[in-house]
Structure 1
Amino acid sequence: MRLAINGFGRIGRTILRQILALPADAGIELLGVNDIAPLGACAYLFQYDSTFGPYPGRVETAPETLVVDGRYIPFTHSDDLKRIDLSGVDVLLDCTGVARSSDVARRGLDAGARKVLISGPSPAAELTVVLGANEDQLGDARIVSNASCTTNGLAPLIKVIHGIAGIETAHMTTIHCYTNSQPMVDAPRGNLARSRAGALSMVPTTTSATHLVNEVLPELAGRISGAAVRVPSASVSAVDLVIQLAQDCREDAFVSALRAAIDASPILGWTDQPLVSSDLRARPESLVLAGPETRMTGPRQVRVFGWYDNEWGFSARMLDVARLMA
C-alpha cells in the first residue's frame, strides 16, 4: 500500500510515528508528506512531541526531505495538491482539516492519487466509514471520511450493545481533552463557551458524534443523543454512555456478553483495572471499556464507560481504513 500524507499536524505526525513503528514487511510505503509549514518546524514538532514524548530515533532534514532513522521522506509545501504529482499513491491521507468542499477534497484525486481518506467529518466525502460499524459499505468509494475520534469509539460500542439486547434510546457524553479549536486564553469564538481558555475550565459543548452515528448506523438514527464536555487535559478522552435496552437483561449476563464481544473485537478493548486517563495514552484501540464502571439500574438501563486516545487510536484507524481502501 502506497500512502501520502497531506497535513502534518497532530494526526499527520501521529500517523507517521505509527508507520515508522511497523515492521519492514508491513507492506506500507510512504511516498511523501505535504504541509505548508517550513520543513524545519515540521521536523522539530515531529521529533519533540508534548503528548507522546520525544521520537526515540534520529530526525534530520535534507533539501525538501524529512529524514527519520535514515529513511528519506519527500516533503512538499503546496497549499494546492493539484500542483503535486501524486501518481502512484493508492490512498492520500488528508489530515489538513480543510477538506470540507468537493473541490478541496478532490484535489488529491486530480493530482493522481487513486483514493482520498479524510481525517475527520466532511460533507464532501462520498461515504463516512467507521471500522467496526459500517466498513462493509466501503465498496469503491474514492473520497472517504474516517469520521471523528469520538465516533470511532462510540459507533462500534453501540453496534455491539445493539446486537446483545437491542437499543431503544441512548445518551452519550464525551469527556474530551481540549484541542486546538479552543484558545489557550480567553478569545472570541462563535460559540461563547468555546471562547474560554481551554486548559483552565471544563467547557460544555456539542459533539458531531451523534450525527455521525446516525450516518454510519442508520438503523439507530434518531435514537442516540449526545453532548461533550471539554476538560483541561491534553490527552485521552472518554465516552460515558447511558442506554435504555430493548430487552430485559440481568447485569451479570449483560456484562458477560459485552465482555465476550469486546474480547472478540480487533479494535475494542476491556480493562478491569482502576485506570485513569493518562494510563491510556498511545493505546491503539478505538475504545477501551472500563469494566468496573459498567452497571445496570433495573433490567433495561445500563451505563458503560470507556477511554480512547483521541489522537493515537484515531490515527490507527486511519491506517486500518486506508488498508481496506487500497
Structure 2
Amino acid sequence: MAKIAINGLGRIGRSILRLLTTTEAGEGFEIVALNDIARPELCAYLLKHDSVFGLFPKAVSHDDSGLTIDGTRYPLTDNPDLSQIDLSGVDLVLECTGKSNSREFATRGLRAGASRVLISGPCPTADQTVVLGANDEMLGDQQVISCASCTTNALAPLARAIDTAFGLVSAHMTTIHCYTGSQPTVDAPRGDLVRSRAAALSMVPTTTSAGRLTDLVLPDLAGRIFATSVRVPTASVSAIDMSFQAQSAVSEKQINKMLAALPAPIFGTTTEPLVSSDLRGRPESIVMALPETHVTKSATMARVFGWYDNEWGFSNRMIDLARRMTSM
C-alpha cells in the first residue's frame, strides 16, 4: 500500500481526492496527509458541493485537524510551507498547489521526509516532465516529476501518435479551453491584458504552455507544433483543434483507423455529435471526435479534433503516474 499526501485542495487536489475515495482509482493507495491553507470547514464544504462534478457521493465531515469521508478520517493541516510538516514514511507527495515554479518549492515535500514528489503542473526545475502516452520511457527513479499540464497531456500523446503513423512535418494547435481560476469573474487587473477580462462573458485569445511543454516532452518534434489558446465561457471540458502536415498523402479513413486503435485510458474516440458538456467526467487524456477529421485536397494537410476534461482527465493521469512512481 503506497502512502501518499496531497498538498493543495484546489480543483485538481479535490478531483484527485474524490477519485481516490470514491472509485477504484484509490486501490493500492493510503492517503496519510492532506494540507491546504483553507480552514477545514471550507475544505469539507468544497469537496461536498462541487459546481462542476456535483454532490460528493459519500458522507463528508470535518474537525479542526481532519476530514472524514465515509467514516475514514484523513489528517488535514494548514501549513503554507509543506517542508515544516512531518511526512516521514510518505512514498509520494501529490503537489497540487499550482505554485511549484522553483526548486525550493518543488522539493518541500522531500525536505518534509517524503520519498518523491509529483507536481500537477509545469515545473521548470523538476527532474523530469512525464506525459503518459508520450514519453513514458523517461520515467525512472527521479525524485521530482512534473505531470506537465492538462492540455499537454492531450496534445503530446496525439502528436506522437500522428508522427509515428504518418510523419508530422508541422502542426498548428488551438486549445479551446474553458475558463480557469487564473481569470477573474469580473474585469480585474492580471498580468496578461486579455486575461484581465471577465472570464464568463467573452472568448479570450491567449497563450498556452502546451507548445513549450510538448517540445520538452517530445524533443524530436521540437519547433514543429505551434500552440495557442482561446479561453471560452464554459466551466469545464476543453478541446484540441489541430491541423497538421503529414510527410505523405493520408486519408480520413486512415487517420480515423489509427485514432480508433490507440490505447485507453490515454485515448478515447467518439462518432457521436457531442458537445462539451457530454464529455464531463471522462477519464481519458483526450477523446477524439472522429467525424471532425478532415483531409484537404492536397492529401497531406489534415485536421483532427479531440475533447478533454481538463480537470477529471488530468487528475486520472496524475493517479496513473503516481501508481507508476510508487511501484518502481
TM range (shorter): over 0.9
Q: Please report the RMSD computed on the Cα atoms of aligned residues, expressed in angstroms.
A: 1.2
The Cα of 1:253 is off from its aligned counterpart by 2.4
Tell whether 2:248 aligns with 1:283. no
Tell whether 2:234 aligns with 1:233. yes
Read off the aligned partner of 2:309 and give its amino acid letter: D
| Residue identity (%) | 57
Tell whether 2:324 aligns with 1:324. yes
Match of 1:50 in 2: 51
Matches within 5 A, 1:169-188: 169-188=170-189
1:251 and 1:299 in contact (8 A); partners too: no
Matches within 5 A, 1:143-182: 143-182=144-183
Matches within 5 A, 1:4-153: 4-23=5-24, 26-153=27-154
Match of 2:291 in 1: 292
- Helix, strand or coil: the match of 2:67? strand
Match of 2:245 in 1: 244
Quote the Cα distance in structure 1 between the aligned partners of 2:103 and 2:237. Answer: 31
Read off the aligned partner of 2:199 and give its amino acid letter: G
Match of 2:302 in 1: 302
Between stretches 171-180 and 79-88, larger displacement belongs to 79-88
The Cα of 1:251 is off from its aligned counterpart by 2.7
Read off the aligned partner of 1:317 and give its amino acid letter: R
1:182 and 1:195 in contact (8 A); partners too: yes
The Cα of 1:254 is off from its aligned counterpart by 2.8
Quote the Cα distance in structure 2 between the aligned partners of 1:139 and 1:315. Answer: 21
The Cα of 1:247 is off from its aligned counterpart by 1.8
Structure 2: state its 5+ residue gaps: none
Report Cα offsets for 1:53-102 as digits up to 9, x if no partner: 01021111123010011011000110111211111111100000111111
Quote the Cα distance in structure 1 between the aligned partners of 2:20 and 2:44. Answer: 16
The Cα of 1:24 is off from its aligned counterpart by 9.3
Between stretches 201-210 and 123-132, larger displacement belongs to 123-132
Match of 2:268 in 1: 269
- Helix, strand or coil: the match of 1:239? strand
2:244 and 2:303 in contact (8 A); partners too: yes
Q: How many residues align?
A: 324
- Helix, strand or coil: the match of 2:44? helix
Report Cα offsets for 1:243-287 as digits up to 9, x if no partner: 000122233223222322x2x343110000001000000110000
The Cα of 1:323 is off from its aligned counterpart by 1.1
Read off the aligned partner of 1:270 and give its amino acid letter: T
Read off the aligned partner of 2:92 and give its amino acid letter: V
Report Cα offsets for 1:110-130 as digits up to 9, x if no partner: 001100011100112111110
